[in-house]
Chains A and B, each alone.
Chain A
Amino acid sequence: MRALLNETDERLLIEAAQRDPRRFGDLYEGNFERVFAFVIRRVRDRDVAEDITAEVFHQALAKLQQFEWRGVPFSAWLMRIAANAINDRWQRTNREQELPPEEPEDAGVEGEIERRAMLSQLVDGLPADQRTVVVRRFVEARSIRDIAKELGRSEGAIKQLQFRALQSLRARMKE
């Protein structure tokens, strides 16, 4: 998985993207899930999280030449951009309110972000029917009845696929 890129590889990718912005895709691919997990954890709203994630990567691409390698992972730089973007948006939309207290970024929080980033990559590896059920149910928040109707299967069959998908993900997470 891209998350396992070592420091040297990541540095090479950054330098390549600084020379040729078309190589930014590799950095995007390696960090997208992590940034989204970080953002949605703070804002708790999918539409807002998508807006902010898009803003983060557009800013990162625009400011890539300013990035200097100091031994800190590229994702940390992206998280800082994300945190600023969240604060800016909060100030724009809630002028009369105080900023929400920033939670301490302890190891538990970091673990949760990594876990969700890994989970979204594991979903890609599920069999097609299980993956479809997971996306409809959890990403699109649709009911079992809706999904059964769309896929032309019984509600029991959809619940069974849902169970198998979660079991499979649980097994893969423990590997």
Chain B
Amino acid sequence: MPSTNVYEELDFGIEALMADAPPETEDETLRELLEIANDLRFIPDAKFKLRLMEELGEVSGGVDARALSRTEGDAGRSHSPLRDEEILPTLFGAGVNTYPVNRGSFVASYMGQAAMLALVATSGFWMVQHRTDISQQLTSAIKISEYTLPPSAEESGGGGGGGTKDKLHASKGDLPKTSREQITPPAIVISNTSPMLPVPPTVVAPQLNLQQMGALGDPISHVLGPVSNGIGANGGIGSGTDGGVGSGRGPGVGPGEGGGVGGGVYRIGGGVSAPVAIYDPDPEYSEEARKEKYQGTVILYVVIGADGTPRTLRVQRSLGMGLDEKALEAVKKWRFKPAMRNGQPVPVEVNVEVNFRLY
């Protein structure tokens, strides 16, 4: 750490500068610092910059200085003294009674805030009363795939889900038998008790030789009763669709779609941390978009692997003009500190926004 003398010596030189009598020194570091100090005397005042921006905005009909300062803030480098000093002045007493009070607005604001307080208080009370239910629902929502099925060497991935739009989540139970084709989707609550051609319910998955000990259901569900097919749709059990078991789509089991056993990836939350970008070069602008001055945001679905590399990139919201391709190209090069769950890196699915702006 530099000695106190250095601070004093520098300040002594600055005082001389302020008096327009620049000191002479042989210490090269001190000389360079004094040169910078001298230049700093001629930098503009941030308040003046904003004020002038606002004036120009009024003339041109819309240049917004506050928007500009927000843009700089996003880049993590702008914190003008103006904002340090004047943010929320009324909150701290300065400028009280500066603005006229509209009685109607005051009453509406008072009522709105009272309602919000009441809502917060009652929702807290409700959550305490129903913590068991909430815990069950949250647990089933954040665990992606914990089906205790042996992995298949030949067929993996895929998945399925179902439900019959019940109000309750699917209840716990055993998986139905697996088969290559599904004729009857599984159900816990059977609506047609006298079918013309009874066929045992199955899911489409590899041969697993599971034992059915009791009622059918979703093996990872924490809901023990009452029995329910789940909140999904088009038959089956769970929160997904189309005749399977679990949260996916199709006649298989678990997240994913089209049959098979869901492997899937994790989502952020509930003990799964977010991946952190450690290398994220900016995307290039496509020539076509640059010529048209075209701006916007591309949203990509990306799976960040346990090794921190992005894979399974897919355009969720397209921008066109070659910018989708540029976004994919850039994000493929990104590297992440992977998401963690119980201290272990896990693959996780995220949406990545890639902004294209012309400055």
Chain B residues closer than 8 Å to A30, beta-carbon distance? 359
> Would you call B60 an interface residue if the criterion is a C-beta within 8 Å of the partner chain's C-beta atoms?
yes
Chain B residues closer than 8 Å to A163, beta-carbon distance? 2, 6-7, 10, 33
Selected from A22, A124, A137, A140, the residue in CB contact (under 8 A) with B77 is: A124
> Would you call A89 an interface residue if the criterion is a C-beta within 8 Å of the partner chain's C-beta atoms?
no
* Cα of A29 to Cα of B63 in the assembled complex, Å: 11
Looking at B45-53, B152-160, B259-267, the stretch in contact with chain A turns out to be B45-53
- Find residues 63-102 in chain B having any chain A CB closer than 8 Å to their own CB: 63-65, 67-68, 72, 77-81, 84
Contact between A137 and B42, CB atoms less than 8 A apart: no
> Would you call B197 an interface residue if the criterion is a C-beta within 8 Å of the partner chain's C-beta atoms?
no
> Would you call A13 an interface residue if the criterion is a C-beta within 8 Å of the partner chain's C-beta atoms?
yes
* Cα of A2 to Cα of B8 in the assembled complex, Å: 36
- Find residues 1-23 in chain B having any chain A CB closer than 8 Å to their own CB: 2, 4, 6-8, 10-11, 14, 18
**Given A116-B42, A159-B8, A163-B7: A131 touches B81 (CB 8 Å cut-off):** yes
Selected from A33, A167, A169, the residue in CB contact (under 8 A) with B44 is: A33
* Cα of A174 to Cα of B42 in the assembled complex, Å: 20
- Find residues 63-113 in chain A having any chain B CB closer than 8 Å to their own CB: 112
* Cα of A161 to Cα of B49 in the assembled complex, Å: 25
* Cα of A116 to Cα of B10 in the assembled complex, Å: 20
Q: Min CB distance, B41 to chain A, in Å?
A: 5
> Would you call A153 an interface residue if the criterion is a C-beta within 8 Å of the partner chain's C-beta atoms?
no
Q: Min CB distance, A19 to chain B, in Å?
A: 9
* Cα of A24 to Cα of B348 in the assembled complex, Å: 42
Contact between A22 and B62, CB atoms less than 8 A apart: yes
Please indicate which of the listed interface residues A53, A62, A166 has the most CB atoms of chain B within 10 Å of its own CB.
A166
Contact between B43 and A25, CB atoms less than 8 A apart: no
Count of A interface residues, CB-CB < 8 Å: 61
Q: Min CB distance, A68 to chain B, in Å?
A: 19
Q: Give 10 A-B contacts (CB < 8 Å), ordered by A residue.
A: A9-B358, A9-B359, A21-B60, A28-B53, A32-B44, A37-B42, A50-B45, A53-B48, A138-B40, A170-B32
Contact with B along A138-175 (1 / 0, CB 8 A): 11110010000000000010011011001101100100
**Given A12-B358, A22-B62, A24-B60: A119 touches B43 (CB 8 Å cut-off):** yes
* Cα of A114 to Cα of B324 in the assembled complex, Å: 36
Nearest residue, chain B, Cβ from A163: B7
Contact between A120 and B43, CB atoms less than 8 A apart: yes
Contact between A128 and B40, CB atoms less than 8 A apart: no
* Cα of A54 to Cα of B49 in the assembled complex, Å: 9
Interface, chain B (partner A; CB < 8 A): 2, 4, 6-8, 10-11, 14, 18, 32-33, 36-37, 39-46, 48-49, 52-53, 55-57, 59-65, 67-68, 72, 77-81, 84, 290, 293, 358-359
Chain B residues closer than 8 Å to A28, beta-carbon distance? 52-53, 56, 63
Chain A residues closer than 8 Å to B36, beta-carbon distance? 119, 166, 169-170, 173
Chain B residues closer than 8 Å to A29, beta-carbon distance? 68, 359
Contact between A13 and B359, CB atoms less than 8 A apart: yes
* Cα of A86 to Cα of B14 in the assembled complex, Å: 29
Please indicate which of the listed interface residues B10, B36, B57, B61 has the most CB atoms of chain A within 10 Å of its own CB.
B36
Q: Min CB distance, B282 to chain A, in Å?
A: 13
> Would you call A48 an interface residue if the criterion is a C-beta within 8 Å of the partner chain's C-beta atoms?
no
Contact between A25 and B14, CB atoms less than 8 A apart: no
Interface pairs A-B: 9 shortest CB-CB? A120-B43, A21-B60, A138-B40, A22-B62, A25-B63, A159-B7, A36-B44, A125-B77, A166-B33
Contact between B7 and A162, CB atoms less than 8 A apart: yes
Nearest residue, chain A, Cβ from B77: A125
Nearest residue, chain A, Cβ from B63: A25
Chain A residues closer than 8 Å to B359, beta-carbon distance? 2, 5, 9, 13, 26, 29-30
Beyond A119-B39, A119-B43, list 15 extra A-B contacts (CB 8 Å): A21-B61, A25-B68, A32-B49, A62-B59, A115-B39, A124-B78, A124-B80, A138-B43, A139-B44, A140-B45, A144-B11, A166-B36, A169-B40, A170-B33, A173-B36
* Cα of A21 to Cα of B6 in the assembled complex, Å: 50
Chain A residues closer than 8 Å to B40, beta-carbon distance? 119, 123, 134, 137-139, 169
* Cα of A122 to Cα of B45 in the assembled complex, Å: 13
Q: Min CB distance, B242 to chain A, in Å?
A: 49
* Cα of A128 to Cα of B77 in the assembled complex, Å: 11
Q: Min CB distance, B220 to chain A, in Å?
A: 49
* Cα of A121 to Cα of B49 in the assembled complex, Å: 12
